[in-house]
Amino acid sequence: MFKKIFSKNKKNTDDGSLLITALLIHSAKIDEHYTEAEKKLIKKALINLYSITTEKAEELLIKAEKKEQESNQILEFTKEVKKNSMEFRLKIIEIIWKIVYSDGTNNIYESNLIRRLCGLLYISDKDSGMIKLKVKNLINKT
């Protein structure tokens, strides 16, 4: 009985990480340029978020790319993010800002996506703006 309960919870966690990864991929693809630099950023984020190996991160990325292609809306992805703490949500927005600025620019589609995501995740414009500045400053230092 306990094996069933725990295996079910593990599956839900796996599904959650898949949906969140799909959201990161969607953010990378919104400007129609899904680059190796963005994939690298996403893999690094997955390793940090979920304490997984590089191999597991690559597996998750491949599965999530397929999931993102099959989905036509971000609500499914954001519902999963909302199940987590505000600290986690802010971390996801920070990762997305890093993805957006990985090519050095921020276009209107990327800005619009982040604005929509923040609204769906109950993150204020002020918090998003502070995260954006933090990411821009980090990029300018490198």
CATH at residue 95: 1.10.3680.10
Whether 3 is in a domain gets the answer no
Task: Give me the mean pLDDT over the 38-43 stretch.
Answer: 96
* pTM of the complete model beyond 0.85: yes
Whether 81 is in a domain gets the answer yes
* pLDDT for the residue 10: 40
The residue segments making up the domain with residue 127 are: 9-141
Domains contained in the chain, number: 1
* pLDDT for the residue 9: 38
Whether 2 is in a domain gets the answer no
**pLDDT(35) > 90:** yes
How does pLDDT run across 8-28, given as a tens digit for each residue?
334 345 789 999 999 999 999
What long-range pairs does 79-88 form, CB within 8 A, spacing at least 24?
79/19, 80/15, 80/16, 80/19, 80/20, 80/23, 81/20, 81/23, 81/121, 82/120, 82/121, 82/122, 83/16, 86/122, 86/123
**pLDDT(6) > 50:** no
**pLDDT(3) > 80:** no
Whether 4 is in a domain gets the answer no
